[in-house]
Chains A and B, each alone.
Chain A
Amino acid sequence: MDDNKRTTTKIQELTYELRIKDVMTKNIETVGSKMHVSHLRDILYDKRISGVPVAKDNKLIGIISIEDFIKCLEQNELDTLIEDKMTKNVKTLYADEPLVHAVMKFEKYGFGRFPVISRKDKKLVGIITKSDIIKGVLKKLETAYHDEEERRYRASHIFNDVVADEIFFKFQYYVEGKNFDRAGEAATGLKKTLYRLGLSPEIVRRAAISTYEAEINIVAFTKGGKIIAYLEPHQIRIVITDKGPGIPDIEKALKPGFSTAPGWVRELGFGAGMGLPNIKNFADKMTLKSTVEKGTRLEITVKLSDYRNED
């Protein structure tokens, strides 16, 4: 179920990401309109294709399919001209359209193929069939899969590849004061990083949520600051420092529901007086030191009780 869910989304994503020109067949056979239908036999049979665009000076003027050829064969009309038997109002796609447009057109018209033309000079540049789409998506999926494998390899094997008695990582994030548009970026970044290093989801969540609350405090109350996360052998230690103004009464600040947040912060849904209490809840340890006018230093520890269990 989970797997199914992921593939569906990934493929949908890919059909938006890929362009038609990425998957179409480029070296295509074309025929001229003044050729005889009989001429198609060799092309269709030899190349094992089911339809051929009819072109004049690289411009598409029609399309003729194996079905058209068979009809002519049945009615003994192999010596008529292709232009009399071809489909003239051909539905086409532009080379730079996302692949999903092709998917939708196939669904809508039920045709076997669409000629692809360039948007700029309307010249015929390729042809796309359903099997081109499948091949293109599979190829892209394979590449994505390899990238993912490689990334995972890198992340989780760092611990095995690095030779040291103990390994420490340090991740540093800068947080702007008063800018709520970027609030949360540090916490989200740390979350992604810790996941990639193979830490358990529960540990990552607790570290990320604590970091988020601290980050919001920097944004709401200070002139800016930084967050440094240390990944140590048995714990994540997150040190948050800012440039002031500092907290006059720490005991009060730690009380659930106590807040000094100004109106504009409250309007955004912050300032409930729950930030520091939340951190206390999610972290294993929290120490807060503050000097008025100078700044505040908050240290959060989350223990890795199940550290590297996934190895």
Chain B
Amino acid sequence: MINLKDIVQKLDLKVVSGNLDREVSAGYASDLLSDVIANAQKDNIWITLQIHLNIVAVANLQELAGIILVNGREPEESTLKKAEQENIPILLTELPTFEIVGKLYELGIHGTQ
């Protein structure tokens, strides 16, 4: 398993919240929250363009390892506050979903199947 800290370093992600000392089991990419709830698994890294507060609730409930926001999108202020509170790592990238997922795959992070 790969550590969140390694992912941040290797993919040059910007960290805006949370503790990076976490192992990542696999990845899931989706912008529909209910889809993430249905299909992501514990310790997954979640790739999305949603920046609203509720991504933190979903990550918290599913006990995800962290959230990567794509396309240079920044979380809303309330999202950030909640993420700090619940200690959910939020990472930012300028890349779109397809590219960042490809890079994650190269690092050995695969899907949930």
Contact = CB atoms under 8 A, between A and B. Distances in A.
Chain A contact surface mostly: helix
A213 interface: yes
A188 B33 contact: no
A269 B57 contact: no
Interface string A203-222: 00100110011001000000
Interface string A183-196: 11001100100000
A25 B99 CA distance: 55
Interface stretch (A78-86, A93-101, A140-148, A274-282): A274-282
Contacts of B21: 5, 8-9
Interface residues of B, number: 26
Contact of B34 (A9, A181, A208, A272): A272
Given A5-B21, A8-B21, A181-B78, A191 B34 contact: no
Contact of A269 (B31, B62, B78, B87): B31
B100 interface: no
Interface stretch (B8-16, B48-56, B105-113): B48-56
B49 to A, nearest CB: 9
Contacts, number: 76
A181 B38 contact: no
Contact-size category for A: 20 to 34
Chain B contact surface mostly: helix
A278 B37 contact: yes
A98 to B, nearest CB: 15
A307 interface: no
A230 interface: no
24 contacts: A9-B87, A181-B53, A183-B57, A184-B54, A184-B56, A187-B61, A191-B60, A191-B61, A205-B62, A209-B37, A212-B37, A212-B58, A213-B34, A268-B52, A268-B54, A269-B48, A269-B52, A270-B33, A272-B32, A274-B32, A274-B35, A275-B34, A277-B38, A281-B38
Interface of B: 19, 21-22, 31-35, 37-38, 48, 50, 52-58, 60-63, 78, 86-87
